Amino acid sequence: MEKDYYQVLGIEQTASPKEIKEVFRQMAFRYHPDRNEGDPQAADKMKAVNEAYAVLSNPSKKREYDLLRQQFGSSAYTHFRNTHSDQDIFSGSDINRILEEMAKSFGFRGFDDIFREFYGQSYRSFEFKGPGLFGVGFVFSINPFGKRKEKAVGQSDGYLKKLSRLLIEKASGIRLPREGADAEDGIVLSPEVAQQGGPYAYFHKKKSKKLVVKIPPGIRDGQRIRLAGMGEEGKNGGIPGDMYLTVRIRKPLLAKLREMINR
């Protein structure tokens, strides 16, 4: 059975942000590991509840997930996780504040201890201090799904992202994962191969690897084929970039002669 975030929390898609938060508080209290010691099923449930809340409490992530449910139905969760790492899902969530409030009220372990138990070495927290400055944060250094999030980043957004990364690394001493850059190359196909599709032998020069690329039938001149993970290597445990192959279709000799005559 495919997981569904709404079913995990037992709510309808029309639930309000207030209702989503209240349901999460109740379920987090019910399945908190400090109340269910030695119960792996409760731990798995708590982990699923945390993830579902982080997505459905965020308006933009919720909209994206809702669109996937409309398009793919019961397989929406798989499609969502194929493009969202744990870092993507929990980034910007207030789940840490809620779990810390619960810890103060009931004497439970807090957010940091719970996530360290659930995610092990892939989860790391940090804090930074300075004159009039204090903050805490966390990162997931490993993406268990091995997928890359396709997202267009504006120029100003890119500068802010780089600045934030530098400040966090300098303050915490933690080297954050960096995704590898995408790479580009081209391939030339005969009209027959472009029309019929099928396997195509491509030699990756930088990696010195021979790859078999699946050409979709009816591909057109100028279209691109994506080879996931075949771009530049990532740094500090970051995932590699992708390789994009631009397709050029070889023109028949007769067509070339006609072009030369018409020039």
Strand partners of residue 252? none
pLDDT in tens, 83-111: 788 888 888 888 988 998 989 898 998 88
Q: How confident is the model at residue 253 (pLDDT cuts 50, 70, 90)?
A: low
CATH numbers and ranges of domains, the chain: 5-147 (1.10.287.110), 183-255 (2.60.260.20)
Residue 99's closest CA among 84, 87, 85, 116?
116
CA of 91: how far to CAs of 75, 88, 96, 197, 226, in Å?
23, 5, 11, 41, 27
Residue written as tokens 């092990």? 120
Which of 56-60, 89-93, 209-213 is predicted most confidently? 56-60
Q: For the chain, give the percent of residues with pLDDT over 70.
A: 73
pLDDT in tens, 166-187: 666 665 566 666 778 888 999 9
Q: Which residues contact 234 (CB under 8 A, 6 or more apart)?
A: 177, 178, 179, 180, 240, 241
Cβ atoms within 10 A of the Cβ of 72, count? 14
**pLDDT for 9:** 96
Residue 140's closest CA among 121, 117, 157, 161?
121
Task: Decide if pLDDT at 143 tops 50.
Answer: no
**pLDDT for 83:** 79
